[in-house]
A and B are shown apart, each in its own frame.
Chain A
Amino acid sequence: MTADTVTVGLSKSANEKLNELHELEIFSEKMDGYRFAIGLALAHGVVPPEISKRETFLNVGSLDPDQSLRRSVEALMPEQLLETTPYRLIERLADWGVNEMYLQATHGDIDFVAIFDRLGQQAS
């Protein structure tokens, strides 16, 4: 396994979408949206594909100061980590999550309560 990355980002298009979501003032910081996107992808249990044309904008130390994200990925997707590093996988998850949120935002405001409710139903 190669050494993990120290900066993370998104594909160019997802980065633009996250910028838009930030400009819509849905999230205070771009990083908040990034973390939510990772959580969303993990909660859906998706295995996102590799991303192309990465645009990095976040330091891993800032994104995951207590390594909660890394540990979560390690706990929940160990088989994926046979081929990649935790933060590379986190990037892919974030990319998927941003696209998903953006899709919802194009239909109006993002209904976060509904997201939680749908995930709750899936889990039960």
Chain B
Amino acid sequence: MGSLVTSEWFRLVLGLVIVLAFSQLNALFLVWLERKVAGHIQLRIGPKEVGPFGLLQTIVDGLKLVGKELITPRSADSRLFPIAPVLVFMPVLVGFLVLPFAPNLIIRDMNVGVLLIFAFSAFTVLAILAGGWASNNKYALLGAIRSVAQNVAYEIPLLLAVLSVVLMVNSFQFSEIVKGQERVWFFLIQPVAALIYLICATAETNRAPFDIPEAESELVAGFHTEFSGMRFGLFFLAEYTNMFIVSAVATSLFFGGWHGPFGLDLGVPGIVWFLAKTYVLIFVIMWVRWTFPRLRFDQLMNLSWKFMIPLSLANLVVTAIVLKLV
């Protein structure tokens, strides 16, 4: 029996069930949170009718979404169009496999964990392009190519910022990276990298102020203009799950993962620390969205190519030389 529990297949199926349940619940909660945050920032109250504090609002919305008709526009690519939402959702869930929630709560502690997450998040670009192209709609295609251009531009500084952390622990393994932060969280040692990571992660998730690809006022909804019902729901779900993933990665790379501050655990279990920090980061991302205006597209690209990339490369070199000297 013991061998079954530890066997890879058991962990796989268990992981899948937990991840699916968690990702859906998390997305429902985040949508509610987003609306509450937006409401309070704009001096409104946000949802409050359905359930306590309006907590059930998104569940009702979700149920409504499931019942909606799945419209396929007549000019759309009939094969690629239905696949796109699946493609966009799959890589996001793969990311959960390697997240270090607590010392013994990692579905699969791979030695290339960090790399895996970034490899699969790059996969999203293909799904977005597939969706935008398959829609055969001008808004969708424009949104898709903007999104791809933005994602690839921000992927480079993102990766370089992460590399300066990898350099410090010499490993891509999440558990190793978190263990390296037992005393000092890496964002104190690598403030520049942390900042670059957060900005780029916001851009990678296509959120304001980097939401040019789905800029409502110009492109309706960007690459998912034509998707309705549950297909739209999957894009939506993927976006919020992605937000959780980037925040969780930031937590484990820069904010100590399951550790409390300065090695003080205060008797609180690791997973609580981890989730608390992740949700605080998510809150910050939401806060940013409702505070800053949207960038123009050339500003957006220039920020990455002319500022982030040189800065992150310089940060990498400085990190390397300091590590050699110390």
Verify that A and B bind, or say they do not. no
- Give chain B's interface residues, CB within 8 Å of chain A: none
- Give chain A's interface residues, CB within 8 Å of chain B: none
